[in-house]
Amino acid sequence: MPELPEVETVRSGLAELLSQKPTIKRVKLTRKDIRFPIPKNFAKSLEGQTITGVKRRAKYLLIETPKVSLLSHLGMTGSWRVETPETLQAGPHDHCFIELSDGRQLIYRDPRRFGVLDLVEPGAEETHLRLKALGPEPLDQNAFTADYLYEFSRKRKTAIKVFIMDQRVVVGVGNIYASEALFRAKIRPQKLAGKITKHEAARLIEAIQQTLSEAIRAGGSSIRDYKNAGGEEGSFQQSHQVYERAGEPCRVCGTAIRSKVLGGRSTYWCPHCQKV
């Protein structure tokens, strides 16, 4: 599943591709639902509107117009791309075609159909069903702080890795980056969230922010089929210290990386470097 760095890379790519603020001429849907039903007024609400920008909230993209924003979640295998009439080759998993005033088409593809297409009225982001319960952005240094994480984690009996992947606690820290950040912070992923100290909370905040920032600069991690809006792969997977490296030597100490399932997700750590 694309995580925050991948979604942010898609956002910045779309923002650049749509920087001339084209108008939406026509919207064509090939189905009435993806993971959830698509609003019946989806096409009508967007047609005739000018795209004014592309934002991200957690793992959601918001393609903004003066009237309404297109809310999109990529799910497991979703992607957006921009095609010209000369390059357009529609495939069986292309579910939304947005024809632009400059002749290009903005296309949403989702083979496994775990994504979301929805609408959000201006100013309603904080109350929208899919956005209202989300925690702070991990790169917001005013909201996502050591004090916040420490206080929120008190008496929590869930593993710290599962805790930081909870979107109500902090958004966008998915499976890859939770494992990588905990390695940097030298904290065992199994440690109970309620047992972390203030010092450990500070280390973990710094590790999460460093890991996500570096991953964004690298264009995200292309583990399987993720590509950005320009069709290019990310490269941060080349810097993974523990993720999907079970049995391989730790790049710091040489100890074999271990793995287990926590919260239904594969988890990776070094038993020597992550003793705390």
Domain-located, residue 138: no
pLDDT mean for each 10 residues of the chain (276 residues): 87 95 98 96 98 96 97 93 90 96 96 96 92 96 97 97 97 93 98 98 97 88 53 70 96 97 96 92
Residue 173 sits in the same domain as residue 202: yes
Please report the sign of the dihedral spanned by the C-alpha atoms of residue 14, residue 15, residue 20, residue 23: positive
**Annotation says 59 is catalytic:** yes
Q: Is 3 a catalytic residue?
A: yes
**CATH number, domain containing residue 211:** 1.10.8.50
pLDDT for res 135: 97
Query: Are residues 153 and 187 part of one domain?
Result: yes
Q: According to the model, what pLDDT value does residue 228 have?
A: 46
Q: Is 39 a catalytic residue?
A: no
Range list of H helices, 165-227? 175-185, 198-217
**What does the pLDDT read at residue 3?**
85
Residue 235 lies in a domain: yes
Residue 136 lies in a domain: no
Residue 154 bears catalytic tag: no
**Rounded-to-integer distance, Cα 236 and Cα 239, Å:** 5
How many distinct structural domains can be found in the chain?
Answer: 2
Domain residue limits at 47: 4-127
pLDDT tens track for 14-47: 999 999 999 999 999 999 999 999 999 999 999 9
pTM recorded for the entire structure? 0.89
User: Of 2, 22, 136, 138, which residue is the catalytic one?
Assistant: 2
Give the active site residue among 11, 57, 59, 109: 59
The confidence score (pLDDT) of residue 87 equals 86
CA-angle at 215, arms to 211 and 217, nearest 5°? 120
Residue 117 covered by a domain: yes
Residues 60 and 151 occupy one common structural domain = no
Q: Are residues 261 and 208 in the same domain?
A: yes
